[in-house]
Amino acid sequence: MNQRQLAKIAKRVGFWALIALIMVYAVFPFYYAVITSLKPSSDLFQVELWLSNWNLDNYAQIFSQSSFIRAIFNSVVVAFSVVFIALLLGITASYALGRVRFRGRSTVMLVILGVSMFPQVAVLSGLFEVIRALNLYNNPAGLILSYTIFTLPFTVWVLTTFMKELPMELEEAAIMDGATPWITITKVFLPLMWPAMATTGLLAFIAAWNEFLFALTFTLTDAQRTVPVAIALLSGGSAYELPWGPIMAASVVVTVPLVILVIIFQRRIVSGLTAGAVKG
Amino acid sequence: MASVTLEKINKVFGRDHIIKDVDLTIGDGEFVVFVGPSGCGKSTLLRLIAGLESITDGDLNIGDTLVNDLPPRERGVGMVFQSYALYPHMTVYDNMAFGLKLAKTDKETVHERVMSTAKILQLEDLLHRKPKALSGGQRQRVAMGRAMAREPRILLFDEPLSNLDASLRVQMRNEIARLHNRLGSTMIYVTHDQVEAMTLADKIVVLKGGHIEQVGSPHELYQRPATKFVAGFIGSPTMNFMPAELASGSKDGCRVTAKGLGEVALPQAADSYRTRSSLTLGIRPEHLRLEAPKGDNCFEIFNVEYLGNEVYVYLEPKEGDTLLIHRSEAPSKWEEGQKVSLVPDIEHVHLFDESGAALMLSETRSAA
């Protein structure tokens, strides 16, 4: 074996070692959550990297609580509503911002971006008043409203950028064919914007699914809570016990749908995020 | 089928006055070509007719209807775009059927129209393909099919061939000409290529800086350009221009002196011009004869281009002028460096005044 081959093998080994390191770094917390969720509660505080014995008690326990199932349902309703509303408003807004020439267009774009720069805490009290005034306190609709506020800027920006890339002549061809703006958006632009919509929709979904602060502040009863709050408020056998096992089991249960969604849409996401970078 | 009438059409974008007082009548079934250099407003004029831009001032009639404020779909126009702008996610069939479906045409009629259009354009085998699976020429035909399927009264083409390579362009040019003969519909075609204009048009409209320079048949524009701009724009290689001075002029003809050529008698009426007013002599490359040098009439051959069927001889100009071109059939006896004299074909010499307008032939000549 000569030196060049050795160097080549060394490079290979180094490359895969680096990848392994990154994998461990990224995946270990989740892996540990999965392991913890499968441990019997007696083994909980023994640090071990492999499972010696396991059962599904923790999972059985969380699914026996009707409030947790209710919370999942609430989360699903909230997250899907947010995605739907954000995409609907985002597409129509991006048509206006990307296609219609009007005075102050870039100002509007900057204001939209500015909205998303405030930290959640800064708008919490103001938003609380708004939600009270709209009579949406302790109602998933209040969460849908507040999440949409924070999701829309990103959605509008990404979709507007994408919309601007679509050739002007395509829209003009649709106009010549007798299409109204609404027909142009739904029949011509929408089918071409799927990658961008999958990306922004998924990110909106993740944000809504995992949001904690608003969900904690704007809901009061078990029946209206979403999953992140429900997990945090899981109670153990006594006031002095933090039920780590069920918490981990619940976390795994609510993360799995996200992982599945990302895997389904991952190719779309990549093409959506890079769209506009290169023509064609 | 319909005629189009433009009356004092103006278009202003912000501060830019793009189209200035354009008057034009396009007859039913005519093939009209708008031609001019880039930025002359030819595409804008087409888009005004299509309804993609609003008219600032003036009246636009299609048939007997004033269409200024009608949206494109109610004007009965179809348009073929430069980039084709086919809907990428639809099959060829759906691309052509889209407009018909939007017009709420019943299904059988849609099918019938799409199939008959596809037959005319030989697209029958491609109906289930998406645009990305088509060649440039095929996409071009689909774009035409989409514009034709709704059976518009007027078909508009915006530089439709400029994305194709040279040989395909010639082929598509012929197909468009054949299509016009077959459909007999009114067609308006925009191009910057004077060859396309000459070969396709019943009537050419030469535009410059937003106004019409001249309207006429290809033959008229070639034989009797109304301005120096049209003379220089139509014809390839371009017309030779030489500065000249009016020696004497009457309504029956005139005599001008041009640098190098000496005094020449011409049939143009020049009674409205003062003697010694400066003019421009225009001679097409094929209307020059080269002979042995005679005194002051002496030009050196700068380069000889052999094109197979013909030969271009470039002549060193007198100081400050542009290169002169002589065209003759091959073979040519002329060689680089030779000295020759120029003999213009008096019948085909054009004369332009300082404003660029052509001097008319004298009445005795034009009657003959």
- Provide the token pair at B247: 């020696």
Mutate to test the interface with A, among B54, B90, B102 (most CBs of A within 10 A): B102
CA angle centred on B14, ends B8 and B20, rounded to 5°: 20
SS3 B204: strand
pLDDT surpasses 80 at B291: yes
CB atoms within 10 A of CB B262: 13
Q: So what's the ipTM on this one?
A: 0.82
Q: Pick the closest to residue B352 from B235, B226, B169, B219 (CA basis).
A: B226
Confidence tier at B66 by pLDDT (50, 70, 90) = very high
**pLDDT tens readout for residues B177-190:** 998 998 889 999 99
pLDDT surpasses 70 at B321: no
Mean per-residue pLDDT, A119-124: 86
| A192/B83 CB distance under 8 A | no
What average pLDDT does the structure give for chain A?
A: 85
Confidence tier at B332 by pLDDT (50, 70, 90) = confident
pLDDT surpasses 60 at B197: yes
Same domain for B106 and B177, yes or no, is: yes
Same domain for B208 and B246, yes or no, is: no
Cβ neighbours for A30, distance < 8 A, ≥ 6 positions apart: A255
Of B232, B256, B289, which marks where a domain is finished? B232
Tell me, what's the pLDDT at A192? 85
Name every residue in B having a CB less than 8 A away from some CB of A: 50, 52, 71-73, 77-79, 81-83, 85-89, 98-99, 102-103, 146-147, 150
Tell me, what's the pLDDT at A273? 56
Of B232, B260, B289, which marks where a domain is finished? B232
Which residue does chain B place closest to A191, by CA atoms?
Answer: B89
CA dist A242 and A240 (Å) reads 7
Tell me, what's the pLDDT at B294? 82
pLDDT surpasses 80 at A237: no
Tell me, what's the pLDDT at B319? 65
Same domain for B126 and B41, yes or no, is: yes
Q: What percentage of chain A carries pLDDT values higher than 90?
A: 27
In A173-202, the residues whose Cβ lies within 8 Å of chain B are: 173-179, 183, 187-188, 191-192
Of B232, B260, B287, which marks where a domain is finished? B232
Q: What percentage of chain A carries pLDDT values higher than 70?
A: 94
Cβ neighbours for B183, distance < 8 A, ≥ 6 positions apart: B120, B148, B155
**pLDDT tens readout for residues B200-228:** 999 999 999 999 999 999 999 999 999 99
**pLDDT tens readout for residues A16-27:** 999 999 999 998
CA dist A61 and A58 (Å) reads 5
Q: What percentage of chain B carries pLDDT values higher than 90?
A: 49
CB atoms within 10 A of CB B228: 22
Same domain for B306 and B194, yes or no, is: no
Mean per-residue pLDDT, B59-77: 90
Same domain for B269 and B350, yes or no, is: yes
Partners of B158 in the beta sheet? B190
Same domain for B292 and B329, yes or no, is: yes
Tell me, what's the pLDDT at A278? 43
Same domain for B156 and B266, yes or no, is: no
The total of structural domains in chain B comes to 2
**pLDDT tens readout for residues A74-95:** 999 999 999 999 999 999 999 9
**pLDDT tens readout for residues B242-256:** 888 898 888 888 999
Which stretch of DSSP H or E encloses residue B117? Answer: helix B107-120
Mean per-residue pLDDT, A100-121: 85
Tell me, what's the pLDDT at B270? 85
| B99/A178 CB distance under 8 A | yes
User: For chain A, which residues make up each domain, given as ranges?
Assistant: 3-43, 66-274
Partners of A196 in the beta sheet? none
Class of domain A66-274: mainly alpha
CA dist B263 and B256 (Å) reads 6
What is the domain range of residue B19? 4-232
| B72/A176 CB distance under 8 A | yes
What average pLDDT does the structure give for chain B?
A: 89
The C-alpha of B150 sits at a distance from chain A's nearest C-alpha, in angstroms, of 8
Same domain for B128 and B150, yes or no, is: yes
Which stretch of DSSP H or E encloses residue B23? Answer: strand B16-26
Q: Pick the closest to residue A245 from A11, A83, A46 (CA basis).
A: A46
Tell me, what's the pLDDT at A1? 66
Burial profile A123-159: b = 16 or more Cβ within 10 angstroms, e = fewer: beeebbeebeeeebeebbbbbbbbbbbbbbbbbbbbb
pLDDT surpasses 50 at A280: no
Tell me, what's the pLDDT at B263? 87
pLDDT surpasses 60 at A230: yes
- Provide the token pair at A107: 């100002």
Which of B52, B83, B103 is opposite residue A178, by nearest beta carbon?
B103
Confidence tier at A277 by pLDDT (50, 70, 90) = very low
**pLDDT tens readout for residues B27-39:** 999 999 999 998 8
Same domain for B179 and B252, yes or no, is: no
pLDDT surpasses 50 at A279: no
Confidence tier at B282 by pLDDT (50, 70, 90) = very high
Which residue does chain B place closest to A180, by CA atoms?
Answer: B102
Mean per-residue pLDDT, B220-238: 92
A chain contacts of residue B147, beta-carbon cutoff 8 Å: 176
- Own/partner pairs, A75-81, CB within 8 angstroms, 24+ separation: A75/A209, A75/A226, A75/A227, A75/A228, A75/A254, A77/A140, A78/A140, A78/A143, A78/A144, A78/A147, A78/A208, A78/A226, A79/A205, A79/A208, A79/A209, A80/A205, A81/A140, A81/A144
Same domain for B214 and B241, yes or no, is: no
Tell me, what's the pLDDT at A276? 45
In A146-175, the residues whose Cβ lies within 8 Å of chain B are: 167, 169-170, 172-175
Contact B214, B35 (CB under 8 A): no
Tell me, what's the pLDDT at B276? 86
Which of A172, A177, A179 is opposite residue B52, by nearest beta carbon?
A172
**pLDDT tens readout for residues B101-147:** 998 889 999 999 999 999 988 899 999 999 888 888 899 899 999 99
A chain contacts of residue B85, beta-carbon cutoff 8 Å: 167, 169-170, 172-173
SS3 A151: helix
Number of helices and strands in chain A (H, E):
13, 0
Same domain for B249 and B200, yes or no, is: no
- Provide the token pair at A153: 């800027």
Report the CATH number at residue B279. 2.40.50.140
Which of B71, B81, B89 is opposite residue A173, by nearest beta carbon?
B81
The C-alpha of B24 sits at a distance from chain A's nearest C-alpha, in angstroms, of 23
B chain contacts of residue A165, beta-carbon cutoff 8 Å: none
Partners of B291 in the beta sheet? B341
Mean per-residue pLDDT, B41-53: 92
Tell me, what's the pLDDT at B224? 92
Question: For residue B62, with 0-12 CB atoms within 10 Å meaning exposed, 13-18 middle and 19 or more buried, which class applies?
Answer: buried
CB atoms within 10 A of CB B120: 15
Same domain for B227 and B294, yes or no, is: no
Which of A170, A183, A187 is opposite residue B85, by nearest beta carbon?
A170
Confidence tier at A261 by pLDDT (50, 70, 90) = confident
**Phi, psi of B46, rounded to the nearest 5 degrees:** -65, -40
